[in-house]
Amino acid sequence: MTYLSREDCERLDREDPLAHFRNEFTLPDGVVYMTGNSLGAMPTKALARAQDVISRQWGVDLIKSWNVNDWFTLTTHIGDQIATTIGADAGEVVMTDSTGINLYKVLSAALTLRPERKKIVMEGSNFPTDNYMAQGLLKQLGSDYEIVFAEGDDITKAIDNSVAVVCLTQVHYKTGRLLDMQAITALTHEAGAISVWDLCHSAGALPVELNACDADFAIGCTYKYYNGGPGSPAFIFVAKRHQGKALQPLTGWWGHKAPFAFERDYTPADDIIQMLSGTQPILTMSVSEIGIEISARADMQQIRNKSLAMGDLMIRLIEEQCGEYGFEVISPKGDLRGSQVAMSHKEGYPIMQALITAGIMGDFRAPDTLRFGITPLYLRYVDLWDAIAELKNIMDTNRWQQAQYNQRHAVT
């Protein structure tokens, strides 16, 4: 095996067509940021946007801002930018609310399209909020509804013509495994069911082709790979053919056909606007546009190429440098992986704490998973090299055994 050097990584950075994007982000000195799959880094211009939206738009223009600063149309204006990154058309995506709330809305809407069927296929090991939201919805709908939980390769076996909706997350939050959206959506439609895709770990991280895959509904968040900022709102995709037909249950005035007519009764808008419920968090939404605009400008295929090269490199470095220490890479190799590398180790928690203290920011997911997000817009090949060199040092010196790294924090 030929060993890779730090100089090799520097050369890869010089040849990287995406390298210039790093200049658009502010990152602290001495930090290797590998948690962009949980909270993306700060685009430098976000600060000026926050200042403008607070001091000028709110402070001076006041309520006129709904019109003069386009606050009222921000949801679709940003939605259209997101659409370009996930293979959707203008008018098919709206930015609003949180991922969990949006899942509730689209799952309800999807079920109304198949009223005679009562089953939802989901993955039990998915990020829990998706399952929790579905369970809450089914409790309201009544006892004849059920969730059929399946895992990985068994998902396709669970899809038959008794299923109403297949609701899956394209990239698994823990392992990084990528599902075949094209094949699963085709199978879903053959069974006469409706597809709902959660894009939390794929939107902005790899080319997503919703319309080419004939997807029905999708949701996703913007504070991960889109670098929208903490708590930035999520998005909803509804294929044109379902708009005005599949109705969501949170029927607030923003989803009304004529919100400023102030009518007594609800009449849904017949386009993507119907997915809205009420007044949006304009400050955070406006700031999020900075990061989303960067993603819309980047070439998603270049992002994918770099992400895969980096992930494969990282796995190789772990095997070369830390092979003796009992790490098990649980992410798939090659293009079956999304944009993160996860590995398990029984001392994963203190090892991650020691890494974070040394400036290598990954995260830990119970019971034993160390996660490293790969964000090609601002992560360099040398960063990967430095991260694994630090990991090796932590293991060589048993630094992770120190008491300070073994105290659990609330957020891991």
Ligand X SMILES: *Cc1c(COP(=O)(O)O)cnc(C)c1O
> Does residue 9 bind ligand X (CB under 6 A)?
no
Q: Please give the radius of gyration of the chain, using alpha carbons only, rounded to the nearest integer.
A: 22
Give the binding range for ligand X (CB under 6 A) out of 61-69, 184-192, 194-202, 256-264: 194-202
* Binding residue for ligand X, selected from 36, 87, 100, 255, defined by CB under 6 A: 100
Ligand-binding annotation for 279, yes or no, is yes
* Binding residue for ligand X, selected from 221, 282, 342, 354, defined by CB under 6 A: 221
Minimum separation from the CB atom of position 285 to ligand X (A): 14
Binding residues among 109-128 for ligand X as defined by CB under 6 A: 126-127
Backbone angles phi, psi at 16, to 5 degrees: -75, 120
* Binding residue for ligand X, selected from 99, 188, 202, 307, defined by CB under 6 A: 99
CA distance 12 to 376: 13
Minimum separation from the CB atom of position 171 to ligand X (A): 8
Give the binding-site size for ligand X (rule: CB under 6 A). 13
Ligand-binding annotation for 201, yes or no, is yes
Binding residues among 119-178 for ligand X as defined by CB under 6 A: 126-127, 129-130, 169, 173
Angle (CA) 32 34 39, round 5°: 120
3-state secondary structure of 302: helix
Give the binding range for ligand X (CB under 6 A) out of 197-205, 262-270, 285-293, 310-318: 197-205
3-state secondary structure of 197: strand
CA distance 129 to 103: 9
Query: Strand 163-169 relative to strand 194-198: parallel, antiparallel, unpaired?
Result: parallel
CA distance 51 to 316: 44
Ligand-binding annotation for 198, yes or no, is yes
- Is the Cβ of residue 181 or residue 200 nearer to ligand X in the bound state? 200
Q: Residue 346 CB: number of other CB atoms within 10 A?
A: 10
Query: Strand 163-169 relative to strand 119-123: parallel, antiparallel, unpaired?
Result: parallel
> Which residues form the interface with ligand X (CB under 6 A)?
98-100, 126-127, 129-130, 169, 173, 198, 200-201, 221
